[in-house]
A and B are shown apart, each in its own frame.
Chain A
Amino acid sequence: MSIWSQILQHAFSGLTLGSIYAIIALGFTIIYNATEIVNFAQGEFVMLGAMTMVTLHVGVGLPLWLAFPLSVAAGGIVGSLLERLALRRLRNSSVLTLIIVTIGVSIFLRGAAMIAWGRNAMLLPPFSQRDAFFVGQASIMPQSLWVLGVTVALVAGLMLFYSRTLVGKGMRAVAINRYGAQLVGVSPPRMVFWSFALSGALGASAGILIAPITLAVYNMGTMLGLKGFAAAIFGGLGSSAGAIMGGITLGLLESFAGGFISSGYKDAVAFLILLAVLFAKPTGMLGGKTGRQ
């Protein structure tokens, strides 16, 4: 394969992967903006979305257009349960406590998934049954186009949500100034609740999108979550644009590193980049002083 085809190939898989990271990073950002909590269980929303989708679409046989929103809703429900049951009681805890609690929740969800679905990886068929098509010598899976397309749609949807809907504007208000938002009648606890539900739904969609490419297995959430978090920090924790940019960049860098340097070390690439950003400019590429919105 010529070098250009290789570059194109890796660019496409990088964009695909990067879109997934971007969606996961957005999930982190939404929760962080509402609560200043970093939700280490974010990766498990991704996993749960994928696994639920397999059960509904493959196991029960529901059509794609029905199983997708149901699985996304499942992610949202788990997210809001997390907020209601666990995090609501820990409003004034230290950073360390909150980190460990969300890690505890992720361990719980992962273990529960292992019990419910077993250890084997499950296959989710791609959304459209077509063979890979070629651009030059680079092969591109149709699922990649789905990932890119749905990501764009999700981002556009989020932008509309934040600018046009009351709940979205309320969430932005709480992120900018909690007290001020209360003064104009926004209920911060309710916005926090919706933030978690939204994050859960986003995470689930990421899982559903990536599952046809990487298979769905009970422990797929850990690495995806950590890398999504790295992407969010890379772009600037608290910045939605940063999350997207961070995710795409991370996906591209990881794909090129895996292709041209070594596939074994590609996991290390994500974290090396993360460390570099943290040491040089902790607030990330697009983060300001406080790194808000």
Chain B
Amino acid sequence: MMRRLKTRITLIAFGVALLAAPLVVRRPYHQSIMVFIGINALAATGLNLLMGYAGQVSLGHAAFLGIGGYTSAVLTVNHGANPWLAMIAGVALTVLVAWVMGVPTLRLHGHYLAIATLGFGMIVNVIFVEWRGLTGGQSGIPGVPEPSIAGVALDTHVRFYYLVWACVYAATVASANIAKSRPGRALRAISSSELAAQTAGINTARYKLHVFVLSAALASLAGSMWVHYINFANPEPFNFAYSIELVVMAVLGGLGNIWGPAVGAGVITMLSQVLQPAGRLLGDWLGRAVIDLDVPAFGLILVLMLIFLPRGVTTSLGMLFQRRRSAGEAG
């Protein structure tokens, strides 16, 4: 009971903070970073449901963002479709692909599941690059229009920020509801032991598939928003590196925690923002051309984080508070 109340209060506080943030953050560059964090958080929320609640893994999730993104781009640019309808079409296509892929893939476990999703992501990325007639290849599809609500075009950072974070908020609330519902308990059972869940009568294949498809749908939305935000669709962002980044965001944030995706997305996105200028400074100091310090630093931080904080930021903080509280009670 207390935990539900706490979650509800935190959700409201989160909502208020989201609403107020653009008033505090005024510089367009910082506002755009918040938009990117939001898009990443949306995709990471889906991944959190899949990995954190259902215990599966997906190393190819960028493919689903790409399918949503390219559908939006192709339909709005080449066929003049309404961006919202295109987004829905993107989700529909992604759901279809995820369903077809999910059935055989989710029968696998551990490394095999990981490499299967990885392979899928690779294949989709190659299609984005090679199917030049549809996707424009490496050059991509420029001129993707912004969506508008009731005649107001979402062409400023702040407006897009509200769109993206409204979706993230909805997805977070949905995650919280799923967690305490019957499917949520089923997913946790599957996560802890699929065999035991099956013997308890849970249709594990169906639940895993549904979560997989749901996480793909969220990714598709994130991908559509991405192309609408930068007015451009190309294969580059929808590759293996981004799939890994998303996994890192979910894991770093804390799997199975509804705040994990937002925290993880925030940390990772801002990490590269911090590391890039640091790299340039180092380059100047060493007298060499720009050093991309952010890449090896990212890898190093990843390894250190998994050694020292394997459960992610939010879960570890939660455990810390719990230990303090029980120490206080004992004392």
Taking the nearest CB of chain A, how far is it from the CB of B62, in angstroms?
A: 14
Interface string of A129-141 (1 = CB under 8 A from B): 0000000000000
Q: Is the CB of A105 within 8 A of B307?
A: no
On chain A, which size bracket covers the interface? 35 or more
Q: Is the CB of A278 within 8 A of B298?
A: no
Given known contacts A267-B122, A278-B112, A90 and B295 CB-to-CB distance under 8 angstroms:
no
- The verdict on A109 contacting chain B, using a C-beta distance below 8 Å, is yes
CA distance A105 to B307 in the complex (A): 12
- The verdict on A66 contacting chain B, using a C-beta distance below 8 Å, is no
Q: Is the CB of B302 within 8 A of A101?
A: yes
Interface string of B238-255 (1 = CB under 8 A from A): 001000100110010000
User: Out of B126, B130, B306, which one reaches A104, CB within 8 Å?
Assistant: B306
- Give residues of chain B (45-81) contacting chain A, Cβ–Cβ below 8 Å: 51, 57, 59
CA distance A275 to B119 in the complex (A): 7
Q: Is the CB of B303 within 8 A of A86?
A: yes
Q: Is the CB of B303 within 8 A of A95?
A: no
Q: Is the CB of A105 within 8 A of B303?
A: yes
CA distance A230 to B121 in the complex (A): 14
Q: Is the CB of A267 within 8 A of B303?
A: no
Q: Is the CB of B115 within 8 A of A115?
A: no
Given known contacts A108-B300, A108-B303, A282 and B122 CB-to-CB distance under 8 angstroms:
no
Taking the nearest CB of chain B, how far is it from the CB of A106, in angstroms?
A: 7
Interface-side segment among B103-111, B149-157, B226-234: B103-111
Taking the nearest CB of chain B, how far is it from the CB of A280, in angstroms?
A: 9
Residues of B within 8 A of A104 (CB): 298-300, 302-303, 306
Q: Is the CB of A268 within 8 A of B127?
A: yes
- The verdict on B120 contacting chain A, using a C-beta distance below 8 Å, is yes
User: Out of B51, B105, B119, B293, which one reaches A230, CB within 8 Å?
Assistant: B119
Taking the nearest CB of chain B, how far is it from the CB of A274, in angstroms?
A: 5
CA distance A98 to B80 in the complex (A): 46
Q: Is the CB of B306 within 8 A of A97?
A: yes
User: Out of B119, B127, B297, B298, which one reaches A274, CB within 8 Å?
Assistant: B119
CB closest residue in chain B, given A274: B119
Q: Is the CB of B307 within 8 A of A268?
A: no
Q: Is the CB of A93 within 8 A of B306?
A: yes
- Give residues of chain A (91-114) contacting chain B, Cβ–Cβ below 8 Å: 93, 95-97, 99-101, 103-112, 114
Q: Is the CB of B115 within 8 A of A229?
A: yes
Q: Is the CB of B299 within 8 A of A108?
A: yes
Residues of A within 8 A of B262 (CB): none
Given known contacts A96-B57, A265-B126, A275-B123, A282 and B307 CB-to-CB distance under 8 angstroms:
no
CA distance A112 to B130 in the complex (A): 31
Given known contacts A86-B307, A226-B118, A268 and B126 CB-to-CB distance under 8 angstroms:
yes
Taking the nearest CB of chain B, how far is it from the CB of A292, in angstroms?
A: 15
Q: Is the CB of B299 within 8 A of A96?
A: no
Q: Is the CB of A107 within 8 A of B119?
A: no
Residues of B within 8 A of A268 (CB): 122-123, 126-127, 130
Taking the nearest CB of chain B, how far is it from the CB of A148, in angstroms?
A: 27
User: Out of B104, B123, B293, which one reaches A272, CB within 8 Å?
Assistant: B123
- Give residues of chain B (284-325) contacting chain A, Cβ–Cβ below 8 Å: 291-300, 302-303, 306-307, 310
Q: Is the CB of B116 within 8 A of A278?
A: yes
CA distance A110 to B57 in the complex (A): 24
Residues of B within 8 A of A237 (CB): 111
Residues of B within 8 A of A115 (CB): 291-293, 296
Residues of B within 8 A of A278 (CB): 105, 108, 112, 115-116, 119
Residues of A within 8 A of B127 (CB): 268
CA distance A17 to B294 in the complex (A): 32
Which 8 pairs between the two chains have the least Cβ-Cβ distance?
Answer: A108-B299, A111-B296, A111-B295, A107-B299, A104-B302, A271-B119, A268-B126, A264-B130
Q: Which residues of B contact A (CB under 8 A)?
A: 51, 57, 59, 104-105, 107-108, 110-112, 114-116, 118-120, 122-123, 126-127, 129-130, 240, 244, 247-248, 251, 291-300, 302-303, 306-307, 310
Question: 14 interchain pairs (CB within 8 A)?
Answer: A38-B114, A86-B307, A95-B57, A96-B57, A100-B251, A101-B302, A104-B298, A112-B296, A114-B292, A237-B111, A264-B130, A268-B122, A272-B119, A279-B105
11 A-B pairs besides A97-B306, A106-B299, A222-B240 with CB distance below 8 A are: A38-B111, A95-B114, A96-B114, A104-B302, A107-B244, A107-B299, A264-B126, A268-B122, A271-B118, A278-B116, A282-B112
